[in-house]
A and B are shown apart, each in its own frame.
Chain A
Amino acid sequence: MSLIVLLCVPLVAGLLSLVVRHVRALEAINLLAFGTVTFLAVRLVGAVLVAPGGVVLGWGEFLRADALSAWMALVVGVVSLGSSFYAVGYFRRELVEGQLTVGRCREFYRLTHFFATAMLLVVLVNNLGVMWVAVEGTALSSVLLVALYNRKTSLEAAWKYIMLGGVGLVLALFGTVLTYAAALGHAGGEALPSFDWSSMRGMASQLDPKLMRLAFIFLFVGYGTKAGLAPMHSWLPDAHSEAPSPTSAMLSGVSLKVAVYALLRGHMLATACLHSDFSRHLLLGFGLLSMIIAGPFVLTQKNLKRMLAYSSLEHVGLVCVGFGLNTPLTVFGALLHMGYHALAKPVLFFAAGNIHQRYHALDFRRLGGGLGRTMPMTALLLAVAAVAISGLPPFGLFYSELTIFAGAFVSHQAWAGAVALLALLVVFCGMLKRFAHLLLGRPGAEISRESWATGNVLAMVLPLVVLLVLSIWLPAPARQLLERAAGIIGGAP
């Protein structure tokens, strides 16, 4: 029952926002919707831990939430809540400065709801086909968000986003069809009872290995493009830097991870069916490739948001490496890393949004230095978030990274851990150099005093506080959830 409610809340909010015209009301709907979504997600986590067999079913077999999807739902809820808080202040100032028309703001609020609904559908649906439809839904709803500003660059970004995403999803569809075909091979010609992931997972060993292998390749390239893995990542920096900040926070924070979730479903089937490291090696290889490619781009980056986008590319790469190594320790680390990254990255994008609104530029040369002097609060939060994202101790990312590397070394895949660690180091150096010269020193351009909307403060301070708390004290249920999710990915049913 709770799954349907969880899905319907954002859907209804979306439909409602189609009708409502007043921006203030839209903001309220937005906050309310995502507040309830997060609350329901937390309840879902509780329900999953208690539920028999660790699975909560909804609407018959159609919706299914195991530990992994509950964790993803929670991440979706938190990031959407954060960006909605920030969106309030952000869009009010955009309207005041005339950067956007009221119509565009309405468009933002409406599309965000559909974007969130699609993402929740991806994580909660049981049927692989419908999961593909949901991922397609996320793509469609977010492309117009990217093109919100309707400038030359945002249209270019949107077009590339939809074209590359479209191609990826067509290949993913082909993969899904092939998976279905692999299952058909067993069922003797008549229609398969259900294309649900749980049943597929059950009879995975009887799937046709050759077909499954081909299917996983298409699934990997398809969902890999949506997840922004290395050679297919070209749309990521453009889309994340051109989208309005709340959207790029959601894109970077959670939409990449949702695509990785979809990829994981395929990976679990392939591992169960092929009993070989085929899919694991793909994940590991492309994950490392993403981390290595992110390095040079961050080192010589000229634009703040593009640098944050490449940082997301690197973190997704690390998560894939974690899943690619496929030992309980590394998978636990990867899941934990997803959560921490989802808390830290949005704050960076919100800060970038503030800077963009104040300086009307994102190019480091034009921003100059002395941000600490002109926008002290944003500078402080940016600094703290930067420390968190580069994996320095007080914040959780350091623990999750070290867990992944420890798992790599124990499972005698030391070289993978070493390469990943060096890639992290390169990105760290690039980001440190940029942030140091941005935050410190004497301010270049003359900027008006910084004015603070309550929404902004909440959106930026709250996630960091939560991150710090979670870094120090991980509540027992959360740990149990992650262990069970790791079990699911690792191989237990």
Chain B
Amino acid sequence: MNSSPQVVDFAVGLIPLLAAIMLVLQLLLLAQRMLVTVIRVFALQSLLLAVIAGVVGYTCHAWHVTLVAVLTVMGKVLFLPWLLERLIRRVRIEQEISPWLNMPASLFLCGGLTLLGYLVARPFASAERVGGNTLAVAVALVLTGFFLLINRRKALTQVLALLTMENGVMLAAIAFSSHGMPLVVELGIFFDVVIAVMVLGLLVFRIRETFASMDTSRLNELKG
């Protein structure tokens, strides 16, 4: 099925937009308090990533990219959020406590990080196959995800921050190669993420059992 040039450049134009939305979602995550909404925002972000992957797969006739898109949808959009929400219901906590850095400061810092992302990605613009600055967005996603991880104190939010960073990396992968990485690597990464989240869920549950709270700042007995 040969796609006409318009369709191709239409698709190419769409991807940066979607990437930009993913970044916006990421900043939204920063301001979120309710855990349930945090999970839903993550699911939405993963959906966008899947759409990008699908678009790239479709346009470049790379069947395994589309397969990855489908897997992303099944895994990150449906299965993982369901798993985490089930966990929240059993643990009955809703509220994220005050973060380490207050809201305006963290937003300002995330802006800076995004800028740094662009700075880092600028020399590689030529190497990109897809869209203008998806690599910049990917780097920004990773750095802001990292900052989010540092900023939040709840265990579950930290898990999600980690997953957003992983989304950033997958975006970068897609950005670089229209054909994505070899299938075995993609599959490996995907299954690893799934197992990771399951293990993290188990641990969060156990911490909730023993510490009666998911606040990781309680975890500071081991010193020196």
CB contacts (< 8 Å) of B206 on chain A: these are 147, 150, 155
Instruction: Judge whether A208 and B127 touch: CB under 8 Å.
Output: yes
CB contacts (< 8 Å) of B178 on chain A: these are 189
Partner of B181, one of A129, A137, A156: A129
Instruction: Judge whether A170 and B165 touch: CB under 8 Å.
Output: yes
**Which stretch in A243-251, A300-308, A332-340 binds the other chain?**
A300-308
CB contacts (< 8 Å) of A163 on chain B: these are 149, 158, 162, 216
Instruction: Judge whether B155 and A159 touch: CB under 8 Å.
Output: yes
What separation, in Å, do the CA atoms of A60 and B123 have in the docked complex? Answer: 37
CB contacts (< 8 Å) of B166 on chain A: these are 170, 173
Instruction: Judge whether A155 and B189 touch: CB under 8 Å.
Output: no
> Is B21 in the interface zone, CB < 8 Å from A?
no
CB contacts (< 8 Å) of B176 on chain A: these are 177-178, 180-181, 184
Instruction: Judge whether A238 and B177 touch: CB under 8 Å.
Output: no
What separation, in Å, do the CA atoms of A137 and B146 have in the docked complex? Answer: 21
Shortest beta-carbon distance from B141 to chain A in Å = 10
What separation, in Å, do the CA atoms of A181 and B181 have in the docked complex? Answer: 9
CB contacts (< 8 Å) of B162 on chain A: these are 163, 166-167, 170
> Is B91 in the interface zone, CB < 8 Å from A?
no
CB contacts (< 8 Å) of A297 on chain B: these are 224
Which of B158, B178, B210, B222 has the largest number of chain A CB atoms within 10 A?
B222
Partner of B165, one of A150, A157, A167, A195: A167
Assess A159 versus B188: contact at CB under 8 Å? Given A152-B211, A184-B127: no
What is the chain B residue whose CB lies nearest that of A218?
A: B142
Instruction: Judge whether A180 and B149 touch: CB under 8 Å.
Output: no
Please give the number of chain B residues whose Cβ is less than 8 angstroms from any Cβ of chain A in the complex. Answer: 47
Instruction: Judge whether A155 and B207 touch: CB under 8 Å.
Output: yes
Kindly supply a per-residue 1/0 record for chain B positions 187-224, scoring 1 wherever the CB is within 8 Å of any chain A CB and 0 otherwise: 01101100110011011001100110000100111101
Kindly supply a per-residue 1/0 record for chain A positions 135-168, scoring 1 wherever the CB is within 8 Å of any chain B CB and 0 otherwise: 0110010011001001111011111101100110
Instruction: Judge whether B184 and A143 touch: CB under 8 Å.
Output: no
CB contacts (< 8 Å) of B184 on chain A: these are 127, 129-130
CB contacts (< 8 Å) of B200 on chain A: these are 162, 166
CB within 8 Å of A: which B172-188 residues: 172-173, 176-179, 181-182, 184-185, 188
> Is A242 in the interface zone, CB < 8 Å from B?
yes
CB contacts (< 8 Å) of B165 on chain A: these are 167, 170
Which of B191, B199, B211 has the largest number of chain A CB atoms within 10 A?
B199
Kindly supply a per-residue 1/0 record for chain A positions 33-70, scoring 1 wherever the CB is within 8 Å of any chain B CB and 0 otherwise: 00000000000000000000000000000000000000
> Is A191 in the interface zone, CB < 8 Å from B?
yes
Assess A157 versus B127: contact at CB under 8 Å? Given A143-B199, A170-B162, A177-B173: no
What separation, in Å, do the CA atoms of A150 and B178 have in the docked complex? Answer: 45
Can you sample 10 A-B contacts with CB below 8 Å? A130-B188, A132-B185, A159-B203, A162-B203, A166-B162, A170-B142, A181-B127, A184-B127, A194-B182, A208-B127
